[in-house]
């Protein structure tokens, strides 16, 4: 039989709810637990660390290594905040409430576990049927490999719904509930999923930025072998590719036919609709010589005048005479562009914006 309990007095707080709130935003759990100064301090420090780290990583004048260190610091603060939030809630609770809380299966701990792995909260409660059902659903959806975009969207939405429904069900099916309304619990579960989607590392890699390394000498002297780069994927969502940008792109069909599968990195020389020609050691754009300060030697080859197709780019390697680039295999459609090479972040003596 399910039992409903309210807090024994107005200051009793749920430690595991405090943990969940701090997992959404460091410091929120401490504020919920009543320690507002501590919570606001953690919130301020963590957000400053996050903002400065993002600025350092993405800004042309920022230090990428400092940004990475601050990002690590933000992660450490976030983890420590979870333990601290639990402690802040626990130490203010009445003895009777803590005795009740620790003598039964904690419904908010079940929610916390379900946010990690669907079904884990039900297993903690001993509800093995739903533990198996939710666990199997999550495993099955994750293992399905589909290419149809509509079906992929449907499965993604189903997985998101599962991560809301599972912790919500773990709470409402708990043998012990302590006064939280179903709307409040559903709101917390939804916010947890939203936060995980925003900060999910795969989403950041897909839509914001990722790291790459240089495997060849085709971009010397600008990029050296084993340079680690930060590739910015946001810029081209709001602006066009510019001449001089160094872009990362997937192999175009002509390269795929030669069994190339790894991404290429080259400098944009010709823009859509322009004519490009290489003769006498010079690159001509619409009949005008292109000034290039980033190459060590002039091209020793000739390329007849070519018009760049719409929504496409001609790309060359900075190591002009030792680069496999557009003068061999043609233009790169914008559909294949992954992002813009923004910064070298490793090795330490090579940290710099890429121009």
- Show which residues are catalytic: 218, 266
Helix, strand or coil for residue 277? Answer: strand
User: Rounded to an integer, what distance in angstroms lies between the CA atom of residue 174 and that of residue 111?
Assistant: 10
- Concatenating the DSSP letter of every residue in 90-151 gives HHHS-HHHHHHHHHS--HHHHHHHHHHSTTHHHHHHT-HHHHHHHHHHHHHHHH-----HHH
List, in order, residues 6 or more apart from 146 with CB less than 8 Å away.
Answer: 152, 155
Picking from 198, 188, 22, 9, the residue whose alpha carbon sits closest to that of residue 110 is 188
User: Rounded to an integer, what distance in angstroms lies between the CA atom of residue 344 and that of residue 61?
Assistant: 12
Phi, psi of 65, deg, nearest 5: -65, -45
User: Rounded to an integer, what distance in angstroms lies between the CA atom of residue 227 and that of residue 25?
Assistant: 34
- Concatenating the DSSP letter of every residue in 39-88 gives HHHHHHHHHHHHHHHHHHHHSTTS-HHHHHHHHHHHHHHHHHHHHHHHHH
User: Rounded to an integer, what distance in angstroms lies between the CA atom of residue 193 and that of residue 36?
Assistant: 25
User: Rounded to an integer, what distance in angstroms lies between the CA atom of residue 193 and that of residue 196?
Assistant: 5
The token pair at 73 is: 């610091």
The token pair at 254 is: 């002509």
Helix, strand or coil for residue 274? Answer: coil
The token pair at 106 is: 């904690």
Picking from 332, 333, 352, 330, the residue whose alpha carbon sits closest to that of residue 343 is 352
User: Rounded to an integer, what distance in angstroms lies between the CA atom of residue 100 and that of residue 3?
Assistant: 12
> Under the phi-then-psi rule, with left for phi > 0, alpha for psi from -120 to 50, and beta for the rest, what region is 259?
left
């Amino acid at each position: 039989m399910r039992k409903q309990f309210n807090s024994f007095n107005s200051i009793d707080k749920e430690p595991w709810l405090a943990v969940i709130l701090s997992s959404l935003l460091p410091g929120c759990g401490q504020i919920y637990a009543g320690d507002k100064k501590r919570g606001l301090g953690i919130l301020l420090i963590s957000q400053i660390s996050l903002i400065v780290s993002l600025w350092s990583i993405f800004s042309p004048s920022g230090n990428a290594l400092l940004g990475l260190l601050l990002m690590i610091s933000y992660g450490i603060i976030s983890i420590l905040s979870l333990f601290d939030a639990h402690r802040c809630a626990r130490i203010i609770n009445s003895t009777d409430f803590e005795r009740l809380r620790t003598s039964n299966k904690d419904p908010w701990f079940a929610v916390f576990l379900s946010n990690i792995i669907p079904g884990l909260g039900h297993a903690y409660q001993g509800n093995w049927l739903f533990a198996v059902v939710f666990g199997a659903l999550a495993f099955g959806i994750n293992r399905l490999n589909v290419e149809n975009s509509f079906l992929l969207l449907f499965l993604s939405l189903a997985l998101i719904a599962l991560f809301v429904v599972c912790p919500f069900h773990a709470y409402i099916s708990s043998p012990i509930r302590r006064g939280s309304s179903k709307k409040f619990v559903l709101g917390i579960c939804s916010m947890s999923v939203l936060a995980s989607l925003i900060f999910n590392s795969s989403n950041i890699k897909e839509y914001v930025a990722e790291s790459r390394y240089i495997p060849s000498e085709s971009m010397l002297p600008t990029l050296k072998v084993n340079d680690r780069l930060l590739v910015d994927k946001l810029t081209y969502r709001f602006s066009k590719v510019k001449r001089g940008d160094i872009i990362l792109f997937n192999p175009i069909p002509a390269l795929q036919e030669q069994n190339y599968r790894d991404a290429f990195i080259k400098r944009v020389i010709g823009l859509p609709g322009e004519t490009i020609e290489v003769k006498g050691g010079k690159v001509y754009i619409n009949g005008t010589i292109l000034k290039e300060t980033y190459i060590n030697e002039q091209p020793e080859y000739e390329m007849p005048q070519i018009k760049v197709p719409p929504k496409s780019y001609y790309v060359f390697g900075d190591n002009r005479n030792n680069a496999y680039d557009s003068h061999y295999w043609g233009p790169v459609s914008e559909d294949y562009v992954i992002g813009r090479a923004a910064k070298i972040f490793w090795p330490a003596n090579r940290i710099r914006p890429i121009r």
